[in-house]
Amino acid sequence: MSHSCIQCQITIQLDNSWMRVLQGDVTTHLCSYLCYRKGRDKYPKSLWPLVQNKEDFNDIRPVMNPSEIVETFQFLNHDELLQLSKEEVDKYYDDLEDHTVMNPMVSEIHHEQETEDRRIQGMEEEWESDASDSLDEY
72-115: per-residue pLDDT in tens? 778 888 788 889 999 999 998 888 887 777 777 777 888 888 88
Residue 102 lies in a domain: yes
Percent of the chain past pLDDT 90, that is, above it, reads 7
DSSP 8-state class, residue 129: H
Residue 123 lies in a domain: yes
**66, pLDDT greater than 70:** no
Is 6 found in the same domain as 59? Answer: yes
Query: CA 82, CA 76: separation in Å to the nearest integer?
Result: 10
Q: What is the pLDDT of residue 88?
A: 93
Q: What is the mean pLDDT of the chain?
A: 80
Is 35 found in the same domain as 87? Answer: no
Is 83 found in the same domain as 52? Answer: no
Q: Which of 37, 35, 17 is nearest to 27 (CA)?
A: 17
Task: Please indicate whether residue 113 or residue 71 has the higher confidence score (pLDDT).
Answer: 113
Q: Which domain holds residue 98?
A: 78-136
Is 86 found in the same domain as 47? Answer: no
